[in-house]
Amino acid sequence: VAEPSAPDGDIVYGRRPVAEAKRGRRRVRRVWTNDDLAASELNRLAGSPDHQGVVAEVDPFPYADAASLLRADDAIVVAVDQVQDTRNLGAICRSAEAAGAAGLVIPSRRSAAITPAACKASAGAVEHLPVARVTNLAGWLGEAKKGGAWVYGAEAGAPAPHTQADLTGRVVLVLGGEEKGLRRRVAESCDLLVSIPVRGRVASLNVSAAAAVLLFEALRQRRGA
């Protein structure tokens, strides 16, 4: 069994991520299973022991063009400012795909990218969800507003609860990194900052939980439920 060939190939691992890659946008170049290779070799190829006996070499992740994501007049786009944890990024992709979002926008620097671990955490959803990288997230949010989108930033403690914001139509939901939240310029580029009302003593939501709550509140409003 040959090693991965082309230096520009990506690795995808895990039963579901590999299955979704096969029915997704990028070519699957080859697949190794535990019939072909020992677990230690699969671990090394995957860079993780979480491969469930399946590792694939695929074409590089096809990042989308950010401008294309807001074409539909009811598009929901999630923008994530400097999330560091690839598992969080993958979890956000999974929820966004499940919510039928038009895509995800991430900064090209100081952010997790669509790594093999992100693919795994997304359960393969990244094979179907358009993900775009932009060099200047605040600038892109400004463009989105000019293009007719409403841009909502999630910020703990913001006076407006997320359920009072109108999340129908063309919207961008902006989430901050795990520790620091939204950078100032990104927050200033939003039409409105909203918070998810919390109780409790720790009373903080993980960024992927916050993304899921906002996405499905948007869907609820769109159903009029």
Interacting residues toward a second copy by CB under 8 A: 20, 23, 87, 91, 94-95, 97-100, 122-125, 127-129, 161, 163-164, 196-206, 208-210, 212-213, 216-217, 219-220, 223, 225
CB of 210 to a second copy, least distance (A): 8
Smaller CB separation from a second copy, 67 or 198: 198
Smaller CB separation from a second copy, 146 or 223: 223
Smaller CB separation from a second copy, 55 or 96: 96
What is the residue type of 59? Answer: D
CB of 45 to a second copy, least distance (A): 22
Distance CA 94, CA 208 (A): 10
Contact in structure between 43 and 49 (CB atoms under 8 Å): yes
CB of 87 to a second copy, least distance (A): 8
Smaller CB separation from a second copy, 37 or 156: 156
Contact in structure between 99 and 216 (CB atoms under 8 Å): yes
Distance CA 127, CA 178 (A): 24
CB of 66 to a second copy, least distance (A): 20
CB of 139 to a second copy, least distance (A): 28
Q: SS3 for 135?
A: coil
Closest CA to 12 of 2, 23, 177, 172: 23
Q: Which strand (E) or helix (H) includes residue 59?
A: none
